[in-house]
Structure 1
């Protein structure tokens, strides 16, 4: 399964739904722009966007909620180790109250993976961050990043926009 996303103004991006009614778009509002995301087995419809392979998919994305994207640049040599670590690790994130969806997105170009989680609310995400499960899943995450990180990871967060409201 492929995943695609692009950023832009809300007014421009909301026209995509009219132009492509067969695609389930997910609209998200961030600090400085709107992001639209969708999953498909076909080619991207975006002329300027980012393409990924969804290598781990858990849960169903919802039209409402809070989304956190952990953007992790990974060295070429480290991709297998990084992916294997996610496949082996039981984070128990899906059993947390408010959990909606998880995606591990491998970039088609570049080296920045996206770990996407969707929560019913920002409070649910904060509760996950303060949980024992989170501490266990991130116990190796000391002050020094793993050798397979090409650069420092960064987090972006969004609130879902339901166009039908």
Structure 2
């Protein structure tokens, strides 16, 4: 399974999502922009997306929620160690209050992994980010040499009715 992410305006991505309504897509937005997430076993309909391989999935997307995207750059030689450690931990998220779904993705065109989690609301994300599970997922470099750069995160909103533009 692969995940492709396209970036653009809400209007453009919404039209693309509607045009390919038979595909598994989720439109996410924040004040900085919009993402259209495409999960498929085949090729994507996007022209130049970010490309990932799905390593672990827990739960299913919903039409409303708040998404936390954690971008984690890993050195090539440390990828197997990182993947092995993360895969089992992702499954623990399903026990967290307010959790909807998670995707752990291996980059196909760069060194930055993506952990996407979807929650009922922002308060549940804040609670998760203050939990011991979150801090045990190894997002921060803290002097470790497995990271090729600093990790960072972004919050996006999924809502069929509202626009953040």
With normalisation by structure 2, the TM-score equals 0.89
Task: Label 1:153 to 1:117 Cα distance change in 2 as closer, same or farther (>3 A).
Answer: same
Q: In the alignment, does 2:116 pair up with 1:107?
A: no
Task: Label 1:61 to 1:146 Cα distance change in 2 as closer, same or farther (>3 A).
Answer: farther
- 3-state secondary structure, aligned to 2:77: coil
Partner of 1:44: 44
Listed as ranges, the gaps of 5+ residues in structure 1 are none
Task: Label 1:153 to 1:95 Cα distance change in 2 as closer, same or farther (>3 A).
Answer: same
Partner of 1:58: 58
Alignment of 1:80-91 (within 5 A): 80-89=80-89
Task: Label 1:34 to 1:141 Cα distance change in 2 as closer, same or farther (>3 A).
Answer: closer
Q: Check conservation: 1:26, 1:161, Cα contact below 8 A.
A: no
Q: Check conservation: 1:68, 1:157, Cα contact below 8 A.
A: yes
Partner of 2:122: 122
- Can you list the C-alpha shifts for 1:38-62, whole angstroms capped at 9, x where unaligned? 2100111111211111101111111
User: Displacement of 1:142 after TM fit?
Assistant: 6.9
RMSD: 2.2
Aligned residues: 163
User: Displacement of 1:132 after TM fit?
Assistant: 4.0
Please give the alpha-carbon distance, in whole angstroms, between the structure 1 residues aligned to 2:133 and 2:46: 37
Task: Label 1:40 to 1:115 Cα distance change in 2 as closer, same or farther (>3 A).
Answer: same
User: Displacement of 1:93 after TM fit?
Assistant: 1.8
With normalisation by structure 1, the TM-score equals 0.89
Alignment of 1:1-165 (within 5 A): 1-89=1-89, 92-135=92-135, 137-138=136-137, 144-162=142-160
Listed as ranges, the gaps of 5+ residues in structure 2 are none
